[in-house]
Structure 1
Amino acid sequence: MRVLTPEEFSRILGELPTRYAAMVLTDIETGLRWGELIALRPTDVDFLRRTITVHRTIIEVPRPISPTGERMMVKHYPKDDEARTLRISGDLVESLSRQVAALDLSPEQLLFSSTGRAGGGPISRNTFRTRVWLPALERAKLGFHVRFHDLRHAHASWALAGGADLKAVMERMGHAQITTTQRYLHTLPDSDDKALAAFARVRDRLA
């Protein structure tokens, strides 16, 4: 598995239109699935406790088979099942706070909409990929292909390489089985060095 490094991510971020920065930063820091990311609303963010709670996902379906006739369908997660609460950094809290203020979003409006304005609908994965993500990749000139979903892989790999607990990462990612999370161990070139450094930090604290 080829995992995006922090330096490579920064190059992609630098080539993205500014209006998508908060969305992409949210994904790399939380590892949310696409549908979970585009379903986020201001009410899902606790700006004081610095958490995001994932209550729902948005699924794209062909209109002919949609029970409502809508292409974007919201699926709410059962309480205490797939719903989860994730800690986020102060920097991301500030970025999301600016997003809410700049767009004058109400608590139930989408944080990241297709129009980039308050009241907009969900972002289409394919539209984002073709009009935003692929052009940014081309400008970043990384020399290899990166899917948006790879940000989720990078989140898990970076956390584990930095010494995070495997079960904590499993819960953060919403994995049903810990074996799924284990795939992200040792995927960065310097992961073993970081694991040793994490061990040393705990050892020194106990000394």
Structure 2
Amino acid sequence: MANIQKRPNGKWRARYRDPNGKEHSRHFDRKVDAQRWLDEVTASVLTGQYVDPKSAKRPFKEYAEQWRSSQPHRPSTARAVEQHLRCHAYPAWDGRTLGGIKPGDIQSWITGLTTTHGLAASTARTVFNTVNAVFTAAVRDRMISNNPCTGAKLPTVPRKRIVPLTVPQVRNLAGQIAPPYKGLVLLTAATGLRPGEVFGLQRRHLDLSQAALTVDQQVQQTKHGVFVGPPKTDRSYRVVPLPKMAADAMKAHLKVFPAPGPQDWLFTAPQGGAVAYNEFMKRVWRPACRKAGIPDGIGPHALRHHYASLLIKHGESVKTVSERLGHTNAAMTLNIYTHLWPDSEERTRAAIDKAYTDSPDDGNTPPPEET
């Protein structure tokens, strides 16, 4: 029900009831303005786009915390989201409401993440994605009508060309690392698993008779400890072919560091149990890299890049490389490794030259029309 009435003071009052039966009203100097407002509200109700004006007055932080607590995030993602909001969003919009944050505020905030707070462009984009997710949920919940993040210009991330480790470098690293982890280096280099996936390997995942390795879990480390969870994405569940080099390395590893039970870890921390990333980096990986002459800043993920580079070098398709790595799609694989695929310029020239060599001009081809 909606109506417009003229008040004793000459103002025009427009009233309507929302889908929950609650009455709302506004006063206007002109009847035409009251009617226009009422028409807009009525249309939003009929199309299911109605937003209670009072919803937009809810504090951003209050809504964001409710949103955060209801998300089915993995522990590592939940930790990152909490940090993004606590360190970068809440200080910027302390006391601000959902509806009070405008596109211009978002743009200034994004720019400030890099220029004022010194975040890398990639980190600023990740923080923005968290805030954008909050506002997207607020629109979906009919708290606000529009997402102020829409159309925001994000900082450009400089494209870094991956320079894979060479085979001699990997062999040298395997020779310098602590003995319990020599097999880890060779296995990772031969299968391209993510560090957490390697740490999550148990004896049941290794099938030496079929020369295959199954990935169905990973080990992650948070401030609350080390835990075992599912792989990064649905596409990360996979069976990876096990090259002879890796199979031989694992046979040698299991002779010295046996894992007799199906639930026993293939690689363990010094005190037992699953390997924790931070301690592994500090006590095992970095000292081994220094001995092997591998530059600082190179992490275990470099072995994954090494694996991808070998597949590409030996002619594997984008689809195959993507499947072996457990990427979400082939586009992601191309985005990371496109510069490693062989240049096709010569093949392009040869294809055209061959076509014209095989079909010589017989003199009857009419000249092109002038334009």
Give me the whole-angstrom Cα distance separating, in 2, the residues matched to 1:83 and 1:72. 21
Going from structure 1 to structure 2, the CA distance change for 1:76 and 1:152 (only over 3 Å counts) comes to: same
Q: Which amino acid aligns with 2:305?
A: H
Give me the whole-angstrom Cα distance separating, in 1, the residues matched to 2:216 and 2:290. 34
Alpha-carbon deviations, 1:136-188, whole Å to 9, x = none? 22122245642211111111122112211211110110000212211213338
- Of 151-160 and 140-149, more deviation after overlay is shown by 140-149
1:81 shift after superposition: 5.0
Give me the whole-angstrom Cα distance separating, in 2, the residues matched to 1:142 and 1:98. 25
Q: Give the corresponding residue for 2:304.
A: 152
Give me the whole-angstrom Cα distance separating, in 1, the residues matched to 2:258 and 2:305. 32
Preserved CA contact (<8 Å) 2:200 2:219: yes
Whether 1:163 and 2:325 are equivalent positions in the alignment is no
Q: Give the corresponding residue for 1:58.
A: 219
Whether 1:133 and 2:285 are equivalent positions in the alignment is yes
Q: Give the corresponding residue for 2:356.
A: none
Q: Give the corresponding residue for 1:186.
A: 339
Q: Which amino acid aligns with 2:228?
A: V
Give me the whole-angstrom Cα distance separating, in 2, the residues matched to 1:3 and 1:95. 21
Give me the whole-angstrom Cα distance separating, in 1, the residues matched to 2:173 and 2:231. 31
- What SS is found at the alignment partner of 2:227? strand
Give me the whole-angstrom Cα distance separating, in 2, the residues matched to 1:148 and 1:81. 21
1:73 shift after superposition: 1.4
Q: Which amino acid aligns with 1:60?
A: Q
- What SS is found at the alignment partner of 2:291? helix
Q: Give the corresponding residue for 1:104.
A: 258
Preserved CA contact (<8 Å) 1:43 1:107: yes
Q: Which amino acid aligns with 1:75?
A: G
Q: Give the corresponding residue for 2:127.
A: none
1:113 shift after superposition: 0.4
Q: Which amino acid aligns with 1:185?
A: T
Give me the whole-angstrom Cα distance separating, in 2, the residues matched to 1:48 and 1:115. 29
Answer 1 or 2: higher relative contact order, Cα 8 Å, separation at least 6.
Answer: 1
Q: Give the corresponding residue for 2:241.
A: 87
% of aligned pairs identical?
27
Gapped runs of 5+ residues in structure 1? 64-70, 197-207
Going from structure 1 to structure 2, the CA distance change for 1:107 and 1:101 (only over 3 Å counts) comes to: farther
Going from structure 1 to structure 2, the CA distance change for 1:38 and 1:14 (only over 3 Å counts) comes to: same
Give me the whole-angstrom Cα distance separating, in 1, the residues matched to 2:315 and 2:274. 35
Aligned length: 182
1:125 shift after superposition: 1.0
Q: Which amino acid aligns with 1:111?
A: L
Whether 1:114 and 2:266 are equivalent positions in the alignment is no
In the superposition, the TM-score normalised over structure 2's length comes to 0.45
Aligned-pair RMSD on alpha carbons?
2.5
Q: Which amino acid aligns with 1:100?
A: L
Alpha-carbon deviations, 1:21-75, whole Å to 9, x = none? 1011111111111111011011111111100000111121222xxxxxxx11111
- What SS is found at the alignment partner of 1:184? helix
- What SS is found at the alignment partner of 1:185? helix
Gapped runs of 5+ residues in structure 2? 1-160, 348-371
- Of 137-146 and 173-182, more deviation after overlay is shown by 137-146
Preserved CA contact (<8 Å) 1:59 1:75: yes
